[in-house]
């Protein structure tokens, strides 16, 4: 990708909504060079793609926006992974990879982790409550989801920061234009995280427990005796767990950030929420719809077909924009208005169909817990006026780069 295309990708990522609107109004699908894909922008078309996984494969769902340099790839070669993961798998393999995750995130397991999530949320808030100001992303939003997913996976809490850091470095490496030296450094951090996950999974294999990691281990190596995981199984397990961790914490961090950002930009709605906290679940839904954390994932056609009147040969890449569907006026009245009092419509922030998000309950509960803490403890919370907010340039974890709040 050349520099000009990088720059226009940045512009699109920081504010994709005007482009979505043009695409929703246009005939057929719109080709977007920055995404190297056809944009699927209307609610109806996004649903159709998600309901036809045999025609629209997920094989390219995690295709990097930027291919790492040969030196960075060589470093990555010393790590683990490179195996199919649930978001990029289709058919039987997809069902096989998804089953332990769905078991690991059952409503009962999520319910069981909520007291810990509430306790962590309160402790993080205690850490800055007396200061009168906070940068929310680093002090809170990047920390709670990592702690919670670490708990649900069964990680040692001391390992969580390195694992969260590795997740961010993987995202930077694959989705941001980094100079060569920084790519190599990011690849080293990713590999360090993978070795940590490998050691953890081998230990779990020897001592199974009631956690997600044990579910993954049993599903990948049902017959292996303790200490006898093959190298191939270790690669498969690390890829599986790394994908699960990234899918779970970066997205939730993003939604915590955007939920508070939009509530702060609408002080009347913040006051309403503080006065009537029973509205919090509806506020979480509206934040997820209005500024969707996972803006879209790619799909690739498995045969020649026509979508929304556009003919597509086999092997065509599509960018399926959940974030655009959620602003479609044919599905949501006044879609560009943030309104926590609206009757929630069926949005697509957590996808639909075979790949629909298995962690949506866990994510929403964490935003709920966050809003309960903040409405109760900081009713006069507001944006720090002198610190304008910019959004991170990403289509997969849309959030403020920093969010300075005062009270
Ligand atoms: C605000 C937070 C979240 C958002 C917006 C979100 C959104 C999504 C979306 C849209 C998909 C569908 C992708 C597709 O169709 O290709 C998805 C899949 C997935 N999500 Fe989430 N998610 C969030 C939180 C979580 C959490 C907390 C977890 C785990 C703890 C999680 C785990 C997954 C996994 C494993 C998949 C892949 C499922 C499959 O391919 O079958 N997500 N998520």
CA of 100 to the centre of ligand 1 (A): 14
Q: How many CB atoms lie within 10 A of CB 106?
A: 13
> Which helix (H) or strand (E) covers residue 171, if one does?
helix 160-175
CA angle 283, 286, 288 (to 5 degrees): 110
Q: Can you give the residue ranges of every domain in the chain?
A: 3-406
On average, the pLDDT of the chain sits at 94
Mean pLDDT, rounded, for 356-364:
97
Residue listed under structure tokens 């020649």: 304
Q: Which SS3 state, helix, strand or coil, does residue 177 take? A: coil
The residues that bridge with 298 in the sheet, in sequence order, are 319
Q: Out of 247, 300, 396, give the residue to mutate to test ligand 1, the one with the largest number of ligand atoms within 8 Å of its CB.
A: 247
3-state SS string for 89-135: CCHHHHHHHHHHHHHHCCHHHHHHHHHHHHHHHHHHHHCCCCCCEEE
Average pLDDT over residues 178-202: 94
Candidates 358, 366, 305; CA nearest to 87 is 358
Count Cα atoms within 13 angstroms, Cβ side, for 187.
20
Cα–Cα distance for residue pair 173/182, rounded to 1 Å: 9
Atom 1 of ligand 1, nearest CA residue:
252
Mean pLDDT of 140-166: 94
Protein residue with least CA distance to atom 27, ligand 1: 248
CA distances from 381 to 132, 133, 387 (A): 9, 9, 15
Average pLDDT, integer, range 215-243: 89
Percent of the chain with pLDDT over 70: 100
Q: What is the pLDDT of residue 1?
A: 59
Distance in angstroms (rounded) separating the CA atoms of residues 170 and 168 = 5
pLDDT band at residue 366 under the 50/70/90 scheme: very high
Whole-number Å distance, alpha carbon 157 to ligand 1 midpoint, is 23
The string of pLDDT tens digits covering residues 247-279 is: 999 999 999 999 999 999 999 999 999 999 999
Per the listing, tokens 């056809």 go with: 38
32 in Cβ contact with 11 (< 8 Å): no
Q: Which residue is it, tokens 């940590």?
A: 196
- Largest CA-CA distance found in the chain, in angstroms, rounded: 61
Mutate to test the pocket of ligand 1, among 117, 359, 364, 394 (most ligand atoms within 8 A of CB): 359
**In this structure, are strands 382-383 and 404-406 parallel, antiparallel, or unpaired?**
antiparallel
Ligand 1 pocket at CB < 6 A: 58, 61, 86-87, 98, 101, 105, 149, 244, 247-248, 251-252, 255, 293-294, 297, 322, 349-351, 355, 357-359, 362-363
* Cα 154 versus chain centre, distance: 20
The proportion of the chain whose per-residue pLDDT surpasses 90, expressed as a percent, equals 85
For residue 238, the model assigns a pLDDT of 95
Q: Rounded to the nearest whole angstrom, what is the distance from the C-alpha of residue 70 to the centroid of ligand 1?
A: 30
DSSP secondary structure letter of residue 342? S
How many other C-beta atoms lie within 10 A of the C-beta of residue 162?
Answer: 15
For residues 233 and 202, is the Cβ–Cβ distance under 8 A?
no
Locus of tokens 């050349």: 2
Question: Cα angle at 242 between 240 and 244, to 5 degrees?
Answer: 70
Cα–Cα dist 254/145, whole Å: 10
Under CATH, which architecture does the 3-406 domain have? Answer: Orthogonal Bundle (1.10)
Q: Yes or no: say if 287 and 255 are a contact pair by the CB < 8 Å rule.
A: yes
């Amino acid at each position: 990708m050349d520099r000009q295309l990088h720059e226009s990708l940045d512009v699109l990522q920081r504010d994709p909504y005007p482009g979505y609107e043009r695409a929703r109004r246009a005939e057929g699908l719109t080709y977007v060079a920055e995404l190297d894909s056809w944009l699927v922008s209307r609610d109806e078309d996004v649903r159709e793609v998600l309901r036809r996984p045999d025609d629209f494969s997920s094989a390219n769902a995690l295709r990097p926006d930027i291919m790492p340099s040969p030196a960075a790839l060589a470093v990555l070669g010393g790590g683990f992974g490179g195996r199919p993961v649930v978001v990029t798998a289709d058919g039987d393999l997809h069902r096989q990879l998804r089953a332990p995750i769905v078991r690991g995130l059952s409503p009962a397991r999520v319910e069981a982790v909520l007291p810990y999530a509430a306790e962590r949320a309160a402790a993080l808030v205690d850490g800055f409550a007396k200061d009168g100001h906070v940068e929310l992303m680093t002090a809170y939003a990047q920390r709670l989801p990592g702690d919670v997913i670490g708990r649900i996976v069964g990680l040692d809490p001391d390992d969580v920061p390195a694992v969260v850091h590795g997740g961010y470095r993987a995202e930077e490496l694959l989705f941001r234009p980094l100079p060569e030296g920084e790519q190599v450094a990011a690849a080293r951090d990713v590999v360090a995280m993978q070795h940590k996950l490998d050691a953890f999974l081998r230990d779990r294999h020897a001592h199974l427990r009631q956690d997600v990691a044990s579910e993954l281990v049993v599903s990948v190596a049902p017959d292996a005796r303790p200490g006898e995981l093959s190298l191939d199984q270790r690669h498969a397990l690390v890829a599986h767990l790394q994908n699960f961790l990234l899918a779970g914490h970066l997205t939730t961090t993003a939604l915590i950030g955007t939920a508070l950002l939009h509530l702060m930009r609408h002080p009347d709605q913040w006051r309403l929420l503080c006065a009537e906290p029973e509205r919090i679940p509806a506020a979480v839904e509206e934040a997820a719809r209005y500024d969707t954390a996972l803006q879209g994932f790619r799909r690739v056609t498995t045969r020649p077909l026509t979508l929304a009147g556009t003919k597509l040969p086999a092997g065509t890449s599509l960018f399926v924009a959940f974030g655009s569907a959620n602003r479609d006026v044919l599905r949501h009245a006044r879609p560009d208005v943030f309104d926590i009092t609206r009757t929630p419509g069926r949005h697509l922030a957590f996808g639909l169909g075979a790949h629909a998000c298995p962690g949506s309950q866990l994510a929403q509960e964490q935003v709920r817990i966050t809003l309960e803490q903040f409405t109760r403890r900081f009713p006069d919370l507001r944006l720090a006026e002198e610190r304008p907010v910019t959004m991170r340039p990403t289509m997969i974890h849309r959030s403020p780069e920093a969010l300075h709040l005062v009270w």
